[in-house]
Each structure stands twice: as structure tokens, then as C-alpha cells.
Amino acid sequence: MIRFGQLVVRNAQKVKGIEIRRCLSAAPQAKQAEAQPAQSDAEKRPNMSFLTNIFRGQVQPAQVFPYPEALDAEQKEYIAAFVDPVTKFFEEVNDPVKNDVNAAIDEKTTEALWELGAFSLMVPPEYGGLGLNNTQYSRMCDIIGGQDLGLGIFIGAHQSIGFKGIMLYGDQRQKEKYLPMVSTGKTYAAFALTEPSSGSDAGSIRCRAVKSADGKHYILNGSKIWISNGGIADIMTVFAQTEQEDPKTGQKKDKVTAFIVERGFGGVSSGPPENKMGIKCSNTAEVYFEDVKIPIENVLGGEGNGFKVAMNILNNGRFGMAATLSGTMRACIQKAAEHATNRVQFGRKIETYGGIQEKLARMAMHHYVTQSMAYMISGNMDTGSLDYHLEAAISKVFASESAWYVCDEAIQILGGMGFMKDCGLERVMRDLRIFRIFEGTNDILRLFVALTGIQYAGSHLKELQRAFKNPATNMGLIFKEGSRRAIRSIGYGGTDLSSYVAEPLKLSAKQCSECIDLFGQTVESLLIKYGKKIVDEQFLLNRLADAAIDTYAMAVVLSRATRTVRKDLPSAEHEILMTKAWCHEEVNDAVRNDDTSNVDKRTIDSLWDLGLLSVYVPPELGGLGLCNVQSVLMAEISGSYDLALSLLIGAHKSIGTKGILLFGSEQQKRKYLPMLSSGKVFGAFALTEPGTGSDAASIKTKAVLSPCGEHYVLNGSKLWISGGGLSDIFTTFAQVEVTDVRTGEKRNKMTAFIVERSFGGVSTGPPEDKMGLKCSATNELFLDDVKVPVANVLGDVGNGFKIAVNILNSGRYGLGAMLSGTMKTCIEKTANHVHDRVQFKRKLIEFENVQEKLALIATHHYVAQSLTYMVSGNMDKGSVDFHLEAAVSKVFCTEAAWYVCDEAIQLLGGNGFMKSSGLERFLRDIRVFRIFEGANDVLRMFIALTGIQQAGRDLRELQRALQTPLANVGMILAEGKKRIGQSVGAGGTDLSPFVASELQNAAKQCAESIDAFSKTVESLLRIHGKDITERQFQLARVADCAIDIYSMATVLSRATRAVDRRLPSAEQELLMTQIWCREASDRVQQNLKRIHSNRFAVNYQRMATLAKHISTHRTIPFSNPIEID
């Protein structure tokens, strides 16, 4: 991210004239509350915001160094007294699962919350509240977020935004009347700003308030949408357009005004609760206002000041979101750590694997940064800071995205268990999705951060320009600026944070300092190059915001870790590790089926009648006899409508039946395939067991040959079997005792069996309660003394592992096909929305950041679809070497679909979060695809190690050739010529003959990636030898390089075909291929650098150490900045 600035600096043009106005048409503006100094005074005083000042390449340390100590001993004691009662409430009274299922909170729970004072945490005691300051409030949010986010939103919507306006802007009479009602009077409050046509564009609301003829009240008409607590609130902070007259010009124009509206005024009504993806127990409803009479004394903050009031309410409460999500992340990490500590796979606890260690370490770092930001901002607010709005916006963006990442990774670590409702993480994930949308979407807040910072930097440049116009009276300023620039141009005089940090963090402080200097130079170069037009350069603004977020995050953790070291706290070692690692990383940068959880008989009968459950089976055995490519097209269609139903079909045909097709004897095929094709009998694939997960070879189900030798007796159980409750025929895997014919030694080897439910002893448990794919019956399968005829052994005895792997390998491309269809639907929904939706007086599609998102999701779909058809096409042509490509396809497509659906929801905003959009169902359904049929983490290891094994064979062959050179002159000369040519920049891979002329540059990027990749693999083999299997940090990046290279080659091939055939889509395919090859080749270079770099190796070791600490403690190995647990 920071490196991006270097490119901008190099290409910056000389300044001829610059004028940056406050042009934030695409972002909400942070303005001072009434209690703060007037604007003219604020302009005179220095801006103390650390973040704002780095846009000038300067450091204002007061609000970051040292880390704020906002609580004295008495305040710590006061908040500590609440920790146990609140925790006890969540453990003994609140039931988050019940709240989620009922989409409501029962009266017993709400009564307990009122008694605890949970609805008036920050209200002064004289009005009936607890009188907590911001830091104390953060501690309460931290606890709530770790327990029940839906309940947290219910509480937060009441006090963080519902009546916060009265606290910030209310006059004495308003406070005395309303604050006791919302504190102890059991009266709920709500914040009513958003309207159906406004979304993030708060300034364009249409709700109107007209002053009565006698001037005693306003008449309010209009409606508000997605109002948290809207159905239960009796007091609302409502925003409406009012006609205001300019006292100077007499001109009349509409300006937003804030009102305190009581439901008791009459004319206030609300619609039914919205059916949402998550935070279900928080009431969200549309609110209608019909001729509501509002007394003039209920104007809040002055007539025409409503936009300022709304923005400051949101700005003032954003830190609470970071504190809340800090608690959520802690709970997710604790679940993941407990699982990693106990779960055994491939003979080792999974906590010992580098891949898991990296995940745990990164999750912990994201939590640490989020928590540090939350308490930093609340601490600054409590010590009187006025300049915290940019930092608060950043904390909201960072926390909401980090929490999503942490929960997603926790689910991945838990695997299938994480996908089950019992675990609780699926509820957390659904709840989390809205946090990147409401209270200012992250996309808008990024523009707000970038444009506000740029405006501040631009004002400094204008000041300097004015000084040069009158140099005689401004010599001090000119010499000061000239000296600073001259010294920096020769590498001296830059930012130095070393004096603020502890000794072990000096290097990290230097990294942060360098980023600040480079960031300031980049901002100035952007101003010089674009001037006022920078407001339209959203591609650049987004990246500028990301760089600002990363830089601020580094400074915050440096400050917190320094405080910990200097106070000699027990967590000092852990915090130093996390801070070093973080700084190093950042510098381098179908609704019915879903609701009922089953598929109705009519739908299933139609599937049989259409032949969709027998697409591969030859016609003579009752099937359609489709090839792989034809099957892909069918899967794309079904995946575009209903992933769960598509998976039900796929579980039957792609893995449930596939074993008999691939390995069945003629007798087995003739007996079972007609039943599975047209006999309306479902088949299932039964491999996974409760204790095995991804470690298929360690299954414990046992098959013992009967004394008569006519059958095997099976005992055991299988877990998470797709279609298990519907199926009557199972491809089942069990351990069989096999005697080695050479040595006579007996050992267990996996064997595959065709098991019929009618054999007796076969039963299934109830359907699993899952996050998604609800209509695909997923059950546990129990095998109790099941007699399986010897004739039902599938393949040879002892070959079960090979059979299982081949079934999965041959079907993996099908997952990509389903998800290609899903992505297409997500993109179509998004394209329709951005084309029609107007925000800030422009269609969404006219904004650059929206264009970028739409282009990238379309490109991801193009790549995924290309991979799927490439693999299936090669299989149809008779290829037997498709297993690595199939694994690459599965990993890429499942991750691309998650990205595409997630971005589609973000672009649709609140509409995307509602169930009616259909996207929340897709998101829940997609999540398990990265887990089942080979978890993506395991497949990455498979890709890397299989490829490295083949490269090792080639290297050994060359070594053998060199031992007898006379007999191998041809091979030695060919290899020598190739290496000499490559060493001087010639003779490398050349893809140019294979691609269209328009793609020559993209082909060169791919070819260079191939050459660099192969050299890296060879160097890894030479350095690590057989020990490479333990280098999972590096292997994961080897796999990512392989995925990117193969995807580049695939789209180059497909786009060339489109050009050669002059297809109508050729222009679009060229664009997407060029975009992808640029992005992918950059990632390859980045990953190769990480593989080779000793600095990154050291950072991985920090992560491994941190992960071990987390596993040992089974939770985050540190407290919070106020040291109150």
C-alpha cells in the first residue's frame, strides 16, 4: 500500500496552481459539535489529529504518544465493579441463540438490562444514568461484543445514536425532559436518518418538516428505512428538510434540521420488522411520519444544522463499534485456539502446523490493533481531544473488516464444525456483515478519510503559495519549508518516532516513520498532479485511505506496546511480537428451500424427470451421458439460482455415484447405476468421520471379513454426509486388515464399499443445523454390524484411499461450475443496482471505486469460469494429469465466489443485507465451499508439495546425468544452454506464439512469473531438501504463486480464442485478461519476495511464537489497555 505512493511521486507533475476546496460531495463531513469551538477558532488553533497531520508528512504526536491514560484509580475501580455483573448477565440470563431464532429479545432479558443500567451507560447520574466516560463505555462494549452482537446493536442503537444527539446538542430543558425517560423510564430511542432513496447520501433526504403558520410547531411528513429499534422506540432523533432563509441574501433553500420526535405526538407508525441476514434480535423497521406535529422547542441543535448534528452523532459513537468488535474477535479467537489445541490431524495437533499458526497470529494481531485503536480514540476523547473524527472513521473501517476476517478464519480453522450452527460462529458471521455497511459504509468512509486529509494538506500548500507571492514578509515560513525539503531530499531530517517508543521497537518505529514521510510526499504529488480533480480519482483515493489506515495502525500499536513495556506488564513479550509483526507486514503490503431446510417432493421429482441427477451415467444405464463440459454448463445454471439445491444434485452425481462410474465392476454398474439414474434412489459419499476431518487416511470405521468369507461387517460412523438423510446407497470407506503377500505382515488399509441402507444396521441422525446449504440434507451416518457382501467391495481391497482421492479430484471442477453461476447472479444484481441507484446526485456506476469493484468481481468470475471449463475440457480430451489443476480450480473458485458475493452485498448496501435481496443466502451457502471436498488450506499444501516433488525428481534426474556425462550429453547441453540464456535475460519462457497480439504484454508478465517461480522452487529444494514439508509459511505462498500463474495462462488462452473467433465478447475478454495478468503477476512477485526474504522469515517466526502463546493460553495472551478484565 505504501509502495503505491512511490509510483505517484515518480509520475507527479510540476505544480502550476492549486486550489483545494472542501469538496466532499462523495463523503460525509466531520464537523465540530456545538460545544466545540466555532469554526473560525478551530482554524486558528493547530489541528492535533495525528492522522490529519500525516497527510502533510508531519507528526503531531500528542494524541498517539504516549498511549492515553484516561482513567484514574477511582474510575478504574468504578468500571471494574460492573465487569462481573455484566458478564454474569450474559452467562445466566441472555440467550443469544434464542434471540437469533426468535428475532426478538424476551421481556426477562430487557428487564435485566434496564436494572443493570445498560441502556444509560454514558448518561450523567443526575439524569438517571451510570455516568461512564468513553473509555469505561468501551470496556462494556468489549464484553457485549464477545457475547451477543444482536443484543449489542439493540443497546447501542438506543444510546450510541438513539439519544446521543440529545446528550451532544440538547438544551437544558430537552435533557431534563428526555434523558431520564431513556435512562430509567424504560423508553427506547432510535436514530432516524436513512431513507429509501438516500442510503449513504444523507444530504439528499426527502422527509420534510414545514413550520406552522403560528410558528409554534413543525408538520413532519415522510418515511425512514432500516431504523434500528424503529418498531419499539417512543423517542426518535429524526432528520428532515426545512426551508431556511439566508439572513444576508434573503434567499430561501432547503437545509436539514434535527428534531426530537415522540411517538405520542401522533402520526408516527412503523412497519413490520425487517427480515435480515443477522443481528436479528435487534428490531429494524421502516418508520412513517404523517402530519406529525412537533413543538418548535423540539428542534435539536438549531434550525438548518441537522446535517452537522447527524454527522457528529455518528462520529462520536464510531469508537464504540471498534470496542464492541474487539470483544467479538476475542471470542472467535478463543474458539479457534481451543480447537487448534485439541484437534489432531495427520497425527499432530493442528496448532503445530505453520499454516494454522499463521492464521492464529494474524487473527490475534487484527484484534490487538482494533482494541488498541478503540481505547486510543476513547482515551483521547476523554482527555479533551476535539480532533478525532478521522481516527474514529478509521477505527470503524478497520474494526469491521478485521472482525469479518477473524471470524472467517476462525470458521476455516474449525472446518466443518465451524459451519455448523452449534458452534455459534455462523451467527457471529451473519451478525458481522452489516458492520461494514451501517453508520457510514466503509467505501464512503475511505473517501471521507482521504478527501478530508487531502483538504488539510492542500490548505498548507495554498499557505505556502501565498507566502511566495510576498516573500519579504514571509521569510521565516519560506526558509523553514525550504530547509525541511532540502534536508529530506538528501535523506535526512525525516520523521523520527524513535524517542517515543521502547527500545525493542526502534526498528518498527523507523518503518512507521518512513511510511509517514512517503505518505506525505505522495499526498503532495497527488495534489500537484490532479488539483481539484483529485475528488474524482477514486482509485487513488481508496489506496490513499488504506495507506493512512495502515500508518495509523502502526503508530497506535507502537504506542500501546511501548506503554506495556514501560509498565513492565506480563503481556509485554506478546505485544512486542505483535507490534513488530504488524509493522513489518503493513510496510510491505432459493428462499423456500433455505427457510424450510429441505427440498419439497415436487422439486425432487422434477430433478429426476429432467435427468439432472444422472448427467454422467451412460444412456444405456439410464443417464444423460453428458461429458464434463456439458455437465459444467448444467451446474452453472443451477448454481446461479440455488446453491444448496445445486449441491444436493452434485453430492449425488459428482461424488455419491462417481465411485461406481470410475471404479465399479461391470456387475456393480449394471446393478446400481440404473437405480441411481432413473430409480429415484439417492447416493452419498461417506468418508469424513468425527475425529478425522481433512485427514482421510486416519478413519476409524472398521470392516472385518466374516469367517465364511462372504461378507464384511462394518462398524463406525461418518460425519457431515451430504444427502445422507435422503440416500439409500453409500460409497463408504473403512479400514480393512490386509496381509502383505511378501512379508506376511498385517496392517490396516482403507477399502471402499457400496453400502445399501437395506443391508440393515444403517441409520442416520437428524439433519445438521448449518449456516447455509440448508436444503441439502447433511447428516451423521451410523454403521452398526452392517453386513456388506464381498461383491460390494469397490475397486480392490486396500485401494480405498486412492479411490476416495480420485473421486474428489474428478469432481472438484464441478464446485467451480456451481460457483461460476452464483457469481454471475451476484454480478447481475450488482450491475442493476449500480446502474439505477443515485447517490450524491450521480448514478453509483459513475463513481470510480464502484467501477473498480464491479470490474474486479467480473474479472474474478471470468477467471473462475475459465478455469472450470479448462479443467473439464482437458478431462474430456482424455487428460489424466488434471489433479493439480482441479485443486487450483477448487481453491480459486471458492475464494473468488466469497469475494464476489461479499462485494456485491457491499455495493448494494443495506439492500444487500436484507434477506429479500437473496445475497445473504448466497453468502451463507458459499462459506462451506472453502472447507469441504478438501479444505483450501490443505489443498494449498497438496498443490505446493506435489509440484515440488515433481521438480525434485527433475533435479535428481539432472544430478544423475551429471554423474555419467558422456551418456547424457544431450540433456546436459540442453539444460546448460537454457540456464545460461536465462542468466543473461534471454531464453526464458516465451508464450508469445500462443496468444493474440493484443495480449503480448500480458503473456510476457505470465512468462516472467513462470521463470521466476521455477527458480524459486529449485532454490527451496536446494536450501531445505526434504525439510521443505515443514515450511508451511513458504509452501502456502508457493501454492498462491502456482494458482496465479495457472489462472493467467488460462485466461490468456481463452481470450486468444475469443479474438481468433472474433466473438462479440472479445473486447471485454481482452480487458479482463489484461487486468488479471497485471494483478496476478504483481502478486506472484510479492509472494516470491516473501518466500526468499529473511525479513519475512523472521516475521513468520514471530507469528509462530505468537500462535504458540495463543494456543497455550487458549485465548488472547493480553488484557486491554485499561487492564480491567
- Of the candidates 195, 286, 303, 439, the residue annotated as catalytic is 439
Residue 330 grid coordinates = 476475542
Asked if 1067 is an active-site residue, the reply is: no
Phi-psi region for residue 301, left (φ > 0), alpha (ψ -120 to 50) or beta? left
Whether 227 contacts 194, CB under 8 Å = yes
Q: Which of 694, 658, 965 is nearest to 814 (CA)?
A: 658
Distance CA 688, CA 506 (A): 50
Distance CA 176, CA 173 (A): 5
Residue 979 grid coordinates = 540456464
Q: How many CB atoms lie within 10 A of CB 242?
A: 21
Distance CA 570, CA 1117 (A): 9
Cβ density class 1036-1052: b for 16+ within 10 Å, e for less: bbbbbbbbbbbbbbbbb
Q: How many CB atoms lie within 10 A of CB 347?
A: 8
Distance CA 132, CA 1124 (A): 15
Residue 981 grid coordinates = 540464456
Q: 3-class secondary structure for 1061-1077?
A: CCCCCHHHHHHHHHHHH
- In which element (H, E) is residue 244 found? strand 235-245
- In which element (H, E) is residue 1022 found? helix 1000-1024
Cβ density class 669-700: b for 16+ within 10 Å, e for less: beebbbbbbbeebbbbbbbbbeebbbbbbbbe
The single-letter code of the amino acid at 623 is G
Whether 436 contacts 404, CB under 8 Å = yes
Distance CA 644, CA 147 (A): 30
Distance CA 300, CA 307 (A): 11
Distance CA 928, CA 583 (A): 32
Chain centre to alpha carbon of residue 799: 40
Whether 69 contacts 534, CB under 8 Å = no
Distance CA 563, CA 313 (A): 31
Whether 64 contacts 50, CB under 8 Å = yes
Q: Which residues pair with 219 in a beta bridge?
A: 210, 293
Q: How many CB atoms lie within 10 A of CB 446?
A: 24
Distance CA 619, CA 678 (A): 11
Q: Given the C-alpha cell 505517484, which residue does it identify? A: 8
CA angle 371, 374, 380 (to 5 degrees): 135
Cα-flanking dihedrals φ and ψ of residue 788, to 5°?
Answer: -110, 120
Residue 888 grid coordinates = 487450483
Distance CA 406, CA 409 (A): 5
Residue 1081 grid coordinates = 503477476
Distance CA 202, CA 453 (A): 21
Q: Which of 156, 152, 158 is nearest to 181 (CA)?
A: 158
DSSP conformational letter for 424: S
Distance CA 653, CA 608 (A): 12
Q: Residue 389, class by beta-carbon neighbours within 10 Å (0-12 exposed, 13-18 middle, 19+ buried)?
A: buried
Going through 263-316 in order, the beta strands assigned E by DSSP cover 268-270, 284-295, 299-300
Residues classed as catalytic? 439
